[in-house]
Amino acid sequence: MVEKIIIFYDIPFAEPSICWSPNTWKTRYCLNYKGLAYRTEWIEYPDIEALCIKIGAAPTDSKDDGISPEYTLPVIYDPSTGQTISDSFDIAVYLDTTYPDTPQLFPPGTRALQSVFAQYASSRIVSHLGQFLRPAVFQKLPAGRSQEYFRRTREASYNVKIEEWAPRGDDRVREWRKLEKALVLLDGHCRRTKEEIGGEFICGINPSFADFVLAGIFQWCKEGFGIESDEWNDISRWQDGRWADFIGSLEKFSTVA
- 6-10/38-42 β-pairing: parallel
The DSSP letter of residue 255 is -
Region 210-239 residues binding a copy of itself, contact defined as CB under 8 A: 210
The DSSP letter of residue 198 is -
Min separation Cβ 11 and a copy of itself, Å: 26
Give the whole-angstrom CA distance, residue 215 versus residue 232: 14
Min separation Cβ 15 and a copy of itself, Å: 35
- The phi, psi pair for 9, rounded to 5°, reads -95, 125
List Cα–Cα distances, 62 to 69, 122, 172, 237, 254, in angstroms.
Answer: 7, 10, 27, 32, 25
Q: In a 3-state reduction of DSSP, which class is residue 9?
A: strand
**C-beta of 48 vs 214, nearer to a copy of itself:** 214
Q: In a 3-state reduction of DSSP, which class is residue 188?
A: helix
**C-beta of 89 vs 150, nearer to a copy of itself:** 89
The Cα diameter of the chain in Å comes to 60
Min separation Cβ 40 and a copy of itself, Å: 27
Per-residue x/- track, 157-186, a copy of itself (CB under 8 A): ----------------------------x-
Region 81-140 residues binding a copy of itself, contact defined as CB under 8 A: 89, 93, 106-117, 119-120
Options 40-48, 70-78, 138-146, 195-203: segment touching a copy of itself (CB under 8 A): 195-203
Amino acid letter for position 137? V
**C-beta of 148 vs 180, nearer to a copy of itself:** 180
Cα 209 from chain centre: 11
Min separation Cβ 255 and a copy of itself, Å: 26
From candidates 85, 179, 183, 202, binder to a copy of itself by CB under 8 A:
202
**C-beta of 174 vs 191, nearer to a copy of itself:** 191
Give the whole-angstrom CA distance, residue 109 versus residue 179: 31
- Among 126, 83, 92, residue whose Cα is nearest residue 111: 92
Region 23-52 residues binding a copy of itself, contact defined as CB under 8 A: none
Per-residue x/- track, 50-79, a copy of itself (CB under 8 A): -------------xx---------------
Q: In a 3-state reduction of DSSP, which class is residue 94?
A: helix
Interface residues with a copy of itself (CB under 8 A) are 63-64, 89, 93, 106-117, 119-120, 185, 188-197, 202-204, 210
